[in-house]
Structure 1
Amino acid sequence: MEQDRTDPGAARARLARVLERAVSDHVDVEAVIPLSGGANSLTYAVDAVREGQPWRLILQVTPPGQAADGMSRAVQAALQTRAGNAGVRVAEVVAVLTPQDGLGEGFVMAFVEGETLAPRWLRDDAYAEARAAMLADCAESLARIHAIGAQAVADLRLPVLTPQAQLRALRETYDRCDGAVPVFELAFAVLAGQLPDDGDLALVHGDFRSGNFIVGDTGLAAVVDWELAHIGHPLLDIGWLSTNTWRFGQAQMPVGGFAEREAFYAAYEAAGGRPVDRSLVLAFEMLGSLRWGVMCMQMGAAHLSGEMASVERAAIARRVSETEADILYMLKHGAL
C-alpha cells in the first residue's frame, strides 16, 4: 500500500479485486487506515463492504525495499491457516496478495476484536475475567501448536533449529554487534552446557508472549505474529513466554505475567502438551532473557550505524542492562 500513497483510490480498487477473487462476492473498500509501521511489517485496518454488509479486515504487507530474508507472507498465511485448522485461536486468512495485484507482498485477514497492549490487559480491572482464562487458553494453544509436528508443515520449509543451533545463531548475532557484555558471555557458556542438541522437535511459534496476543473479554482471542515460527524444541515457547521482560511488571506471575509456573506446566500437559522437564525449562527461560538482550543490542547497533535510526530502537537498546540483571539473578538462584 505504501507505493499507492499518491493514488489511494487505485489502491482501494485493487484491494477490492483481491477480496472479490477470494470470496466471490461484490466488495467495496472504503478505507485503508495505517495502524503501525515497523521494520518487518506495515499493518492497516481495512473498512470494506461485502454484499452491502460492513466487513472489517486487517492487511499486513512487507515494507517496500525490505530484503526478503525472513519468512514470506505467503508462508505466514499458510502457517496461520494450518494453526487455525488445528484449533489454535488465530485470525482467519482471507486472501494472499500476488505480484500481479500491485500491492506488495502481504495477506489480508479477518479483524479480531480485543486488546493487544499487554500492560493494559495484564493490569486493568476490566480484564480480570480474561486474565483468569489466559492460563488455560495459552496452555491449550501451545499444546495444539506443538502437536502439529514437523511433518505436517514440511512443505513450508521452515527453519530447523535445535536448542544448541539456536544458541549458536544467537551468538553469531551477538558477535556481529561487537558484543562485549561479560554477563552475556557467562550465559552463553552456561547454556552451552545445559541446552540439548536434539530432542523431539515440533512446530514452535517462536515469539509466543504477552505482546503477541489479542485478548477479548473472556480470554485469548487470537495468537498473532507467526513470522518467527520454526521447527524447534517446544520448551523454547514456554521459556520465552516466561521471560521476565514479557511479564510487563507482573513479577508475581512468572508465566507471561498471568500464571504461575507449575499451574501452567500442568495445564499444558493436561491439554496434550509434552511432559515439561522442570529443570530444563528454566534454562530456556535464561535463553529467553539472553535472546532479548541480544535483540536489544541488535536494535542499538542498527540505530548507531544509521541503518535504521530510531529513538525507539535507541531506547530499547538501553534495556540490555535489565537482561543482565535478570541473567545474574537466574545464575545465582535458578529462577527469576
Structure 2
Amino acid sequence: MSTDTLRAALERRIREVLGDACTVSEPTRLTGGASRETWTFTVSDPSSGSRDLILRRDPPGFEDPQRMTLEAESFTEALRAGVPVPALVDHSSGHDHTADALGSAYLLMDKLPGEALPQRLLRDDRYAAVRATLPYELGRTLARIHHMDTDAVPGLTGGDQVEHLSDMYRETGTRLPVLEIAFRWLREHRPLSARDTVVHGDFRNGNLLLDESGVRAVLDWELVHRGDPMEDLGWLCVKTWRFGSPLPVGGFGDRTDLFRGYEDECGIAPDPESVRWWELYGTLRWAVMCRHQANRGLVDGEDNTLELLAIGRRVAECEKDLLDLLGLGHDDAPVPVPDTAATDDLFGRPSATELLDVVREFVRHGSAGADPQSVYLARVAANVLGVAGREAALGAELRTRHREALRGAGFESESALADALRAGTASADDPAVAHAVRQAAAARLAVANPRY
C-alpha cells in the first residue's frame, strides 16, 4: 500500500470514527519496530482543530488480528489500573472485517509528547535528572501492570514460558550449543511463584515514552500474556535493553531502586534470584526472537527485509550475555586481525573488505538530509556491510579454528554438539566442550559486533 493509498484509507476511516469533516495529512513512517509498522499523521477538524495520531499496523500479509484486539483490550484495563498508556481512537477487531479499512490489523491512538529512543534517553543532558529516578518509577509502574485484572482482558494466554520458547526455538533452524545450555539451566533452576498476573511481555527501554518528568506512556503491548510477574522485571534488566550503559535497569540505574519502587507500590518485595532467572530467560528469549525475525526476513513479501536480516546476526550478542550469566566466561583465544594489505591474494587490491568498507561509508554518509526512515535504514545497511566485510576478512580463519575446536571435543559439527548437550551426553563442564562452545560464540561476535 503506497503512502497516498494509506492516507486515503486513513481519511475514510477517521471520518467514520471522528466525523465527516476530518482531513488527514500524509502519514510518515517512524523508524524502528521490526514486527509492526508505526506511522504518524495529523487529523484536522474545522470544529475541534488538529490532533496528532499514531497508527500501529501489522505488515500486510502477516496479520494477527486477534493479537491486535488483545492489545487494544489491554489498553483499556491498563488505564483503569493507573498505568499510563495513549488513548485509543480506533482499532480493528479480530472478529469482523474492520482490518480491511487499513489493509491489515491496526491500532489508532493519540500521539503523546515524549521520547522513546533509548540512545537519546541514556545520553542527552535533558534527561540526566530523570534517569536517576526512573528505576524506582518503573518498579511502581510494573506493580500497577501486575495489578491489572486478568479477567478484564479476554484472550490472555499463559502456560510454561520456557516450553513455549523451546517450541519457537526448534522452528527457527540450526541448534546452537549456548542456547541448549541455557535451556537446560532454566529447566533445572526454575523459581517458585504463587502469583499469576498480567505480564506486559516487552516492558523495556525503547517501549517506554518518557520526558523530563518521568514515564508518559507504556507502549507496545503486543506480547501481553499472563504468568509470573517477575518476567517483566527480568526482561527490563536484559543487557540488550541497556544500549551500552553499564547500569542494569534499562541502562538507567540499579535493581535495588527497581525493587524498592515495586514493593512501595504493591507491598510485595521481588525476589532477586527469581528476577535473575527471568533475566537469563529474557536473554535466551531475545536470541530466539532474533532467529525468528531473520527467518521472517527470508520470506518473500516482507517490506523490512533489511532490518529483519540484520537482527538475525544479533544472536551472537545474546550468546556472549548467556555465557556471562551462566558463569562460563568467553573464549580467551585472540580473534585474528584482517590483513587488508596482503599482496599475495588471488584477487589483489582492493580486497573484498576494502571494497565493502568504502561502500559502507558511502551508504552511511550518502543518506544525509534524507527522511528519518531512509537515514535509519542507511545506518542498518552500513552495519550489515560491516558484518559482511568482517566475515570476508576473517571467515576462513575462524571456520578453521571452529572445526578444530569441535574435533577436539569429539564432534564433527556444531549441531551434533548441540544435540549432545540437549540429550545430556555432553556437558559444558568438559573443558574441551566448553572451549568449543566459547570459540564458536566468540567467532560469531567478532564478525557480528566486535565492539559489543
TM tier relative to shorter chain? 0.7 to 0.9
Scaled by the length of structure 1, the TM-score of the pair is: 0.87
Q: Which residue of 2 aligns with 1:60?
A: 56
Whether 1:102 and 2:101 are equivalent positions in the alignment is yes
Map of 2:39 onto structure 1: 44
Residues 218 and 38 from structure 1, CA distance in 2 versus in 1: closer, same or farther, beyond 3 angstroms? closer
Once the two structures are TM-superposed, the CA of residue 180 in structure 1 deviates from its matched residue by 2.2
User: Hey, which bits of structure 1, 4+ residues long, moved more than 4 A?
Assistant: 4-9, 36-39, 304-309
Is residue 178 of structure 2 the alignment partner of residue 180 of structure 1? no
Equivalent position of 1:281 in the other structure: 275
Counterpart-to-counterpart distance in 2, 1:175 and 1:8: 37
- Is the CA contact 1:12–1:30 (under 8 Å) kept in the aligned structure 2? no
Aligned residues: 322
8 Å Cα contact 2:137/2:258 also seen in 1: no
CA deviation after TM superposition for structure 1 residue 115, in Å: 1.1
Question: Are residues 15 and 67 of structure 1, via their aligned partners in 2, closer, same or farther at CA, if it must alter by over 3 Å?
Answer: closer
Q: Does the 8 Å contact 2:293/2:311 carry over to 1?
A: yes
Query: How far off is 1:317 after superposition?
Result: 1.7
Give the match's secondary structure for 1:191.
Answer: helix
Question: Match of 1:158?
Answer: 156
CA contact (8 A) 1:150 1:231 kept: yes
Aligned pairs (5 A) from 1:88-167: 88-97=83-92, 99=97, 102-104=101-103, 105-153=105-153, 156-161=154-159, 165-167=160-162
Deviations 1:125-170 (A, max 9, x none): 12112323322321111000001142332xx111113xxx111111
Residues 247, 36 of structure 1: alpha-carbon distance in 2 compared, 3 angstrom cutoff: closer
Q: Secondary structure at the match of 1:43?
A: strand
Give structure 2 stretches of 5+ with no counterpart: 330-452
Which structure shows the bigger proportion of residues in strand conformation?
1
Q: For 1:312-327, list aligned pairs within 5 A.
A: 312-327=307-322
Question: Which of 6, 12, 15 is the equivalent residue of 1:14?
Answer: 12
Question: For residue 54 of structure 2, what is the amino acid of its counterpart?
Answer: I
Return the offset for 1:298. 2.0
Q: 1:7 Cα shift? A: 4.5
- RMSD (Å) for aligned C-alpha atoms: 2.5
Q: CA deviation at 1:74?
A: 2.6
| Structure 1 residue 311, shift from structure 2 partner | 2.8
Mapping of residues 126-275 of structure 1, within 5 Å: 126-153=126-153, 156-161=154-159, 165-196=160-191, 199-251=194-246, 253-272=247-266, 274-275=268-269
Alignment of 1:311 onto 2:268: no
Q: 5+ residue gaps in structure 1?
A: none
In structure 1, distance between residues paired with 2:206 and 2:34: 17
| 8 A contact 2:191–2:277 mirrored in 1 | no
Q: Offset at 1:233?
A: 0.6
Amino acid at match of 1:62: D
Query: What do the CA deviations read for 1:178-216 (whole angstroms, capped 9, x no partner)?
Result: 342111111111100112476311001000000101111
Shift of 1:325: 1.3
